[in-house]
């Protein structure tokens, strides 16, 4: 959609230090675009690395006007609010950006071309979550592929499924493995320039959309499928179509190590014991032996909020409990998962 050489500013007003800022975090970690600044008035005048527990020397500015002095060509909405709905409070910042010639990357459900198209000249709005008009109905044919199909699953939303998947993909690419990545959410699609906005697709066609995307990677030896949602979350339906469409051969479980309950607004729901949850995901994937058997091969812990020694202790305890290789892919690398998969 855009050239990787175009500089980006990331709009993260009020969310640089919140879970809702995961779109911005993903862009900072993986985007090939030069990121010239982040917008969040709460941390204006600082660097990202001095504001939150992220290692990026990216300046934080107070507003769009200040961001313009860094000469961005694109503004990315780096916040993923609950339900993916565009807040009215963002109207003026977006209008200001568009009137000053910036293009916009929108990962929310709202069609911002329809809402702000009148402000466009030569700039563009990319509505990332805009699905095709229709997709085929899944038939389980992904099971016929020879490729290993690795689905990232999680104990909760925002557990690190995309990050762990992309780190695994990058490490395999570096080793010369013939590997593909199937983006299924706004961050992955933005980074890769392709994929399916799973949560914007009609539920009857969701598994078919996943299957179609996986079949497009049929020439690969390993296919990493970006996970969404969780079987444990009462508001999530995403894991089932991912399992049905990809017919995974392997699962990697992603979990926020410091959490015992799901994130608000469902914090009353306890996260199941990891060994029991692993069995649940494997059982759902294989449907009592009727479909492709999927084996959990490792755990990607997100140890945000823990000290390094606490994180290492949690990793050791998790390995002892589950008998599976465990790592925090950001803190300690992805080598354990690469070796297990290979």
Digit-coded pLDDT (tens) for 33-54: 999 999 999 999 999 999 998 8
Does residue 279 carry a pLDDT above 90?
yes
pLDDT, position 42: 97
Here the tokens at position 5 are: 């050489």
**Percentage of residues in the chain having pLDDT higher than 70:** 100
- Residues 249, 58: Cα–Cα separation, whole Å: 39
Predicted local distance difference test score (pLDDT) of residue 262: 95
CA distance 248 to 285: 8
Residue 285 contacts residue 248 (beta carbons within 8 Å)? yes
pLDDT at 100: 97
Say if pTM beats, i.e. exceeds, 0.85. yes
User: Is residue 144 scored above 90 in pLDDT?
Assistant: yes
* Residue 123 banded pLDDT, cuts 50, 70, 90: very high
pLDDT band with cut points at 50, 70 and 90 for residue 3: confident
Q: Which domains does the chain have, with CATH numbers?
A: 8-127 (3.40.50.720), 141-341 (3.40.50.300)
For residue 208, give both structure tokens.
């078919």
SS3 148: strand
- The CA distances from residue 308 to 66, 258, 304, 313, in Å, are 36, 13, 10, 9
pLDDT at residue 85, as a whole number: 85
């Amino acid at each position: 959609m855009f050239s990787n050489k175009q500089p980006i500013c990331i709009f993260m007003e009020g969310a640089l230090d919140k879970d809702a800022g995961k779109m911005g975090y993903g862009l900072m970690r993986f985007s090939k675009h030069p990121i010239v600044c982040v917008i969040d008035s709460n941390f204006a005048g600082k660097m990202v690395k001095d504001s939150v527990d992220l290692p990026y020397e990216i300046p934080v500015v107070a507003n769009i006007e200040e961001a313009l002095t860094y000469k961005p060509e694109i503004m990315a909405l780096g916040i993923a609010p609950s339900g993916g709905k565009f807040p009215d409070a963002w109207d003026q910042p977006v209008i200001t950006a568009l009137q000053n010639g910036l293009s916009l990357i929108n990962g929310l459900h709202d069609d911002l071309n329809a809402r702000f198209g009148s402000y466009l000249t030569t700039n563009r709005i990319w509505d990332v979550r805009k699905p095709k008009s229709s997709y085929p109905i899944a038939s389980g044919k992904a099971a016929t592929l020879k490729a290993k199909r690795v689905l990232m699953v999680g104990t909760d939303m925002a557990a690190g499924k995309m990050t762990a998947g992309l780190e695994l993909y990058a490490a395999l690419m570096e080793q010369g493995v013939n590997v593909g990545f199937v983006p299924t959410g706004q961050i992955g699609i933005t980074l890769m320039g392709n994929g399916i906005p799973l949560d914007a697709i009609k539920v009857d066609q969701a598994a078919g959309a996943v299957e179609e995307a996986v079949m497009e990677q049929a020439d690969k030896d390993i296919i990493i499928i970006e996970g969404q949602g969780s079987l444990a979350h009462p508001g999530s339906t995403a894991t089932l179509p991912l399992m049905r469409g990809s017919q995974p051969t392997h699962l990697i479980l992603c979990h926020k190590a410091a959490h015992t309950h799901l994130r608000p607004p469902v914090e009353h729901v306890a996260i199941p014991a990891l060994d029991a949850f692993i069995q649940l995901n494997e059982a759902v994937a294989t449907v009592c032996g009727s479909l492709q058997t999927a084996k959990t091969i490792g755990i990607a812990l997100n140890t945000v909020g823990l000290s390094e020694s606490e994180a290492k202790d949690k990793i050791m305890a998790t390995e002892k409990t589950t008998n599976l290789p465990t790592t925090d892919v950001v803190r300690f690398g992805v080598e354990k998962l690469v070796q297990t998969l290979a």
